[in-house]
Amino acid sequence: MTSSAAVVTLDHVSKRYGPAGTPPAVSDLSLTIPAGEIVVLVGPSGCGKTTTMKMINRLIEPTTGRITIDGEDVMRLPAVELRRRIGYVIQQVGLFPHLTVAENVAVVPRLLRWPETRVRDRVEELLDLVRLDPATYRDRYPSALSGGERQRVGVARALAADPPLMLMDEPFGAVDPILRDRLQNEFLRLQAQVRKTIVFVTHDVDEAIKMADRIAILQRGGILAQYDTPDAILAEPASEFVSRFVGADRGLKRLSLGRVRDLALTSPTTARVGEARADVRRRLDEAGAEYALLLDESDKPIGWIERRDLSGDDGVTPDDATPGSPTLQPESTLRDALSAMLGSSVQLGVVVDEAERVLGVVSVDAISEVLRAPAATVR
């Protein structure tokens, strides 16, 4: 799909709802939102995050300051023209109940007077993109859709005219946690394809960490507390407020950003079923290790064997191994890896590939090493 992404800048933007002298909702906010990134505005209620977002498409107009999209001042354009160029997704979705799924998706292209054949093709393309079978869903009314399907249609509708910028106001806030997780993953996959500039509002720190390329943390009165990558914010909160807002478990949250594949794996001492115990003992001595990893014929891990269980001269049997050592995939988050390892007797995680063959092991130490490393500035 062809698409471009826009750079958005906020230049000393303030919004005051009351007369001069009343406390502002947004105070002197300056931000640059790079093209093709997801920037999450997050903060407690009353921090002005939604106000900030709505000033970009002029649903709310700033009191002072300047907002530009690709260098163009948003106040220069007629508001409706501006909005047709910006995708907009809200928490309650707001599908038009009297229009079918296809007609909902076609709203902005029709406002822009696209030829009908182009509109139809675009609707099909978008329904495919959000994984709703066009033949099944095209002619349904929103009342016949589930919450997750409605949200997908909402995203397709926002993408319809291929806008370089999307605004999303708590888009996954009204669905249950399991569905939210799935929609988030789907959206990230979609974004990897379309590469739009996205301004995403949420009050949920975990969602912000998961979705963001950059996070802008706002505090009451619309004051920017910190603007950086999730990793940098978790590693070095800029203030007491940010530190409290991201939570005492920010170390663990940081781990959820890393993947097992990012770690250097070590090769364990291995043993095979049927091999002489003396040979395994010798290898353990050479490596100075206490445990050997028992593998079956196809290199799949069976479990760990402790040195003191290797007396005698018989062959090694699967019963010698302590089962239940966690296996991890390269895609597992470090947070999940740590959690699995802490729950097992041998605090090593066995990393396996898709065929369950052993790639190596990781230790708890290797993970805590990550937390001591300085933050990456770009994820």
Partner 1 sequence: MTEGEPLFRLDWVLQHLDMLWQRIGEHILVTVIAVAAGFVISFGLALAVRRYPFIYGPILAISGILYAIPSIALFVLFIPITGLSLLTAEIALVSYTLVILVRNMVTGLRGVPPEVIEAARGMGYTDRQRLWRVELPIAMPIIVAGLRIATVTTIGLVTIATLIGMGGLGYLIVNIGVQRRFPTATITGVVIVVLLSTAVDLGLQLLQRRLTPWARAHEA
User: Residue 126 or 294: which CB sits closer to partner 1?
Assistant: 126
Considering the complex, what minimum distance in angstroms separates the CB of residue 161 from partner 1?
9
Q: What count of other Cβ atoms lies within 10 Å of the Cβ of residue 256?
A: 18
Q: Could you tell me the smallest distance in angstroms from the CB atom of residue 107 to partner 1?
A: 6
Q: Answer yes or no: are the C-beta atoms of 308 and 284 closer than 8 Å.
A: no
* Min dist. Cβ of residue 55 to partner 1 (A): 13
* Residue owning tokens 């998961």: 210
CB of 295 closer than 8 Å to CB of 284: no
Comparing CB distances to partner 1, the nearer of 51 and 325 is 51
Number of Cβ within a 10 Å radius of residue 203: 16
Cα(89)–Cα(38) distance, integer angstroms: 14
Question: Can you tell me the distance from the alpha carbon of 105 to that of 134, in angstroms, rounded to the nearest whole number?
Answer: 11
* Least distance CB 235 / partner 1 (angstroms): 36
Region at 160 (left for phi over 0; alpha for psi -120 to 50; beta for the rest): alpha
Residue whose CB is less far from partner 1, 142 or 222:
142
Measured from the CB atom, is 81 or 296 closer to partner 1? 81
Nearer to partner 1 by Cβ, of 80 and 192: the residue is: 80
Rounded least distance, CB 40 to partner 1, Å: 19
Give, as one character, the DSSP assignment of residue 214.
Answer: E
**Interface residues toward partner 1, by CB under 8 A:** 57, 59, 80-85, 88, 90-100, 107-108, 111, 141-144, 157, 167
DSSP code per residue over 188-206: HHHHHHH--EEEEEES-HH
